[in-house]
Structure 1
Amino acid sequence: MQHETTPRDTKAAIHRAALELFSGQGYEKTSLREIAEQVGITKASLYYHYSSKQELLRAIIGTFIEDVRSVMAGSDELEWSPESQRELLGGYADVIIKHRTTGPTLTRDIGAVIAALDEDLGDLIATSRRFQLWLAGPNPTLADRLRAAAAIECLGAALSITPDDDVPESEIRNTLLEAALAVLASRTPPTN
């Protein structure tokens, strides 16, 4: 019995091929024809699923952005405590690790990513700012807010560890979460 390919399988194959090509040669240098060829479909078949390269990029990064936004929005519902801070940072780390194959595309072609986000960008920035402010704790100083931003950046380092690096996800998570929490907890006395 021959296995039939479903539209969902084809979309997943398109996403994988696009991510590989976008990461390897860049968004601008990748054509829809190349993506279709790598998947083994015609360009017309690819257009059945996505009307443009930008729509394809938006679909690829859309799940990542929604997952990040969902974790960050959790800060709107939780009262700050060290436990809830750790919980949300852990959730953020999990999202970054889950989507780390998207990382090279996000960082390599930031202009294309920003264009693909379009009207969602303002909301994402506002949600991110609320999340950082919440992470900084009650009545945060400027230093607290900067530490919160740095903690988030620590977790973003997961994007530099690709699945090909063969590092267990639990090790990535634990190491980066520990680093982020250490950044948040660091306090240095003021210098004169």
Structure 2
Amino acid sequence: MARGNTRQRIQDVALDLFAEQGYEKTSLREIAERLDVTKAALYYHFKTKEDILVGIFEDLTRPMDELITWAQEQPATLETRREMLRRYQRALRTAAPLYRFMQENQATVRELSVGLTFKERMITLIGLTQEPDFAVVDKVRCVSAVFTLHAGTFFMQNVEGDTEEKHEATLEVALDLLEAAHRAD
């Protein structure tokens, strides 16, 4: 575990277990056992599994919130949108364990409040990639640019090649989609 404080260690271990065996099948007891602490020590920091998950989401989605705030303060130019995609890719790579959990536990995430706020963030982020008067095909290009970054972060392990090279190629494709949408405008 890279991060040292107890609260963070709990979140890291819980996220690993949630991703391994599913949110529903993971108990607070298992999290405590993996950490080699008592359930009472765990309760000191988090009362429920959902509290742990909310804390994970808050910590790992903070860069996304910062990115949205940054993008909203910038001029709505193609260069701003390019930089937004570059920064989003970095944020995705940092939060990879969370997104892997979300992929494996979609039904659970939909039922929890964190799923709704994440969906709202995605809608806002995608909206920042495009102009309101874009044709539908160009809106699809912008949505596809964002989700290309997701695919590059989480689904490229089965593609041959150097990890860094795959991330660069993914960003290039996302930028190509974004630029194609803006050329058509």
Indicate the TM-score class for this superposition, using the shorter chain for normalisation. Answer: 0.7 to 0.9
Q: Which runs of 4+ in 1 moved over 6 A?
A: none
Alignment of 1:129 with 2:123, yes or no, is yes
TM-score, normalising length: structure 1: 0.79
Structure 1 distance, partners of 2:9, 2:81, is 37
The gaps in structure 2 that reach 5 residues or longer are none
Check 1:19–1:142 CA distance in 2 against 1; reply closer, same or farther (3 A cut): same
Check 1:92–1:50 CA distance in 2 against 1; reply closer, same or farther (3 A cut): same
Partner of 1:36: 32
Encode CA deviations 1:128-174: one digit per residue, 9 max, x unaligned. Answer: 33432331247311111111111110111213468xxxx65x54542
Contact 1:27 1:112 in 2 (8 A): yes
Residue range with higher mean Cα deviation, 135-144 or 48-57: 135-144
Contact 2:15 2:101 in 1 (8 A): yes
TM-score, normalising length: structure 2: 0.81
Check 1:161–1:30 CA distance in 2 against 1; reply closer, same or farther (3 A cut): farther
Match of 1:59 among 50, 55, 63: 55
Root-mean-square deviation (CA, aligned residues, Å) is 2.5
Match of 1:79 among 66, 75, 80: 75
Encode CA deviations 1:17-43: one digit per residue, 9 max, x unaligned. Answer: 111111110000000000000000011
Contact 2:13 2:31 in 1 (8 A): yes
Amino acid at match of 1:121: L
Between Structure 1 and Structure 2, whose CA radius of gyration is higher?
A: 1
Contact 1:97 1:173 in 2 (8 A): no
Give the total of aligned pairs: 174
Structure 2 distance, partners of 1:92, 1:75, is 11
Structure 1 distance, partners of 2:121, 2:14, is 28
